């Protein structure tokens, strides 16, 4: 099974999920950075008019995961840390970016950001991903 097929039912990026997914699409900006553009509908709010923190976590985790999947690396999130620099209002487009920071002792260290339309940094995430054998993905 290839890495992308192992992820075909993901709630964040599957186009065929029973629950409507976030339907994220990813592309490479260059050899190091992955990008996704996403419209934050009001369905994704927590507090009135603001992006729910759990959805923000999902968006950033998803782009880091896909950075690895696009290189045929299946890995599970071992840790995820977010820093919210400013609030993110709904009903706007945002840009997501991810890059690998390092690979040490069998663990991928990743970084992702969520930028507002004016290019201000709103949220940044760092994470560690642990590669898994494809036999462990069911």
Angle at 17 between CA 91 and CA 126, to 5 degrees: 60
pLDDT at 138: 58
**pLDDT at residue 17 greater than cutoff 60:** no
Q: What is the mean pLDDT of residues 112-126?
A: 98
Entry pTM:
0.87
Neighbours of 10 (CB within 10 A): 17
pLDDT at 136: 61
Q: 73-106: string of b/e by CB count within 10 Å (b at 16+)?
A: bbbeeeebebeeeeebebeeebebbbbbeeeeee
Q: Which domains does the chain have, with CATH numbers?
A: 26-136 (3.10.129.10)
Nearest-angstrom CA–CA distance, 134 and 132: 6
Q: Which residue has the higher pLDDT, 19 or 125?
A: 125
pLDDT at 3: 72
Across 1-5, 96-100, 123-127, 131-135, least confident range: 1-5
pLDDT in tens, 38-66: 999 988 888 888 998 999 999 999 999 99
**pLDDT at residue 14 greater than cutoff 90:** no
Backbone angles phi, psi at 14, to 5 degrees: -70, 140
**pLDDT at residue 2 greater than cutoff 80:** no
pLDDT at 43: 83
Using alpha carbons only, how large is the chain's radius of gyration in Å? 15
Q: How many residues does the chain have?
A: 138
């Amino acid at each position: 099974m290839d890495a992308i097929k192992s992820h075909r039912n993901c709630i964040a990026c599957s186009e065929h999920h029973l629950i409507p997914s976030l339907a994220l699409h990813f592309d490479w900006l260059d050899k190091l950075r992955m990008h996704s553009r996403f419209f934050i509908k009001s369905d994704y709010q927590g507090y009135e008019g603001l992006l729910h923190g759990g959805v923000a976590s999902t968006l950033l985790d998803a782009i880091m995961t896909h950075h690895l999947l696009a290189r045929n690396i299946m890995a599970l999130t071992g840790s995820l840390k977010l820093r919210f620099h400013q609030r993110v209002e709904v009903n706007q487009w945002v840009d997501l970016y991810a890059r690998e920071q390092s690979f040490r002792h069998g663990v991928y260290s990743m970084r992702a950001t969520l930028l507002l339309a004016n290019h201000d940094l709103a949220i940044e995430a760092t994470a560690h991903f642990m590669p898994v054998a494809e036999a462990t993905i069911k």
